Amino acid sequence: MRLKTKRTHGLVLNIAAVTSTFPSFSSSSPSVHRYYSPTPKSKVALVLPFPRPPSPQSTVTPSFPYNTSPSLSYLLRSASINKIAFLRHGNTNPKPSDGTDYDRQLTDLGEKQAINAGISFRSLSLPLYHRVLCSPAPRCVDTARLFLNSCMIVGDGDGGAGEKQKDKLEIVTMPVLYDGTMQPEGSRLFRKIGYAPLRSYLQDDDPIDAGTAQEVLGTYANNAMVEIARVIEKDDSRYSTGNAAEAVIVEDNDRKKDKTLLFVGHAVYLPSVALGVGYDVLKEKEEDVHRLEDILDLVLSTNTKEAEGYILDVVKGEISLLQRPVE
């Protein structure tokens, strides 16, 4: 499978800042890769100011502020994205003795998991939105690449959907999706709690740690949501202005089809994005707060496994687990 290579720099879009107190992320412009090529490591881990204090009463919306114009829900609809698949990277080696966390690579098991995930989830995922959003960490990029390679294999009864798409997909790496995991307080909490459901972080017995988790994970989710909106809006503006020189060429018929946006990221941080996006999208469908809580409880309650995750159905207003068959 060939993934197109295109780098984008300094995206200028009509996206409002999260709040006026948030610094701009000029360094977080997405990059696009055919296969993994080393991305510069983050030199500074920014701890962003949180725009409002955490609310101890909140269980479903753990202080995840979000403000874009136009809204993410609107952008998803305009791009005919009816599903979002949130996928965690596969099993990973420890960091090399002379390297950093960023340098960690997939193990043989992790590669197999990513391939199996592509095969297992292809019926839920195809057709895919032509941009795959991904952390720049090698373990995430390689998971996305292997997932796509196996997902694009022609299957019986799918009308060749994968074959038709394989030359049109791009892996778009977003530095903020890795840099945001390198917060000192977030790393401290991860050492304390480890791989655990999101609720274990947001409702920690220590109220200070619970507030810190809401701040770190809420900020991460919000920044990810802004980047998702930014990429989709740029695509939408290209179509509306007819700027074929910059646009990724996708036939009109493909644009009208319902598609799945694939998002590949890291444990704990991945469900925080799923929670933020899920709430933002589903709150327009579910006026019943208790019903909304039931839907999003799945994200709060599950410990995301390697090369597994969630799929958000924007149209039906549902979130389901993506689980691979046991190897």
Which ranges constitute the DSSP H helices of the chain? 72-78, 108-125, 138-151, 161-165, 175-179, 184-193, 198-202, 207-241, 252-256, 269-282, 289-301
Per DSSP, what are the bridge partners of residue 128? 260
Are residues 113 and 323 in contact, defined by beta-carbon separation less than 8 angstroms? no
> What confidence score (pLDDT) does residue 192 get?
97
Cα separation, 142 vs 287, whole angstroms: 40
> What confidence score (pLDDT) does residue 167 get?
63
Summarised one tens digit per residue, pLDDT across range 286-313 is: 777 777 888 889 999 999 999 999 999 9
3-state secondary structure of 263: strand
Summarised one tens digit per residue, pLDDT across range 36-61 is: 222 333 222 222 222 333 333 434 44
Q: How confident is the model at residue 148 (pLDDT cuts 50, 70, 90)?
A: very high
> What confidence score (pLDDT) does residue 158 get?
53
Query: Which residues make Cβ contacts (< 8 Å) with residue 190, sequence separation at least 6?
Result: 268
Task: Please say whether the structural domain 59-322 has been given the CATH code 3.40.50.720.
Answer: no
What mean pLDDT, rounded, does the chain reach?
Answer: 75
Cα separation, 282 vs 296, whole angstroms: 9
Summarised one tens digit per residue, pLDDT across range 101-142 is: 999 999 999 999 999 999 999 988 889 999 999 999 999 999
> What confidence score (pLDDT) does residue 161 get?
53
State the virtual CA torsion across 116, 309, 39, 20 in degrees, nearest 10: 160
Read off the DSSP letter of residue 208.
Answer: H
Read off the DSSP letter of residue 93.
Answer: P
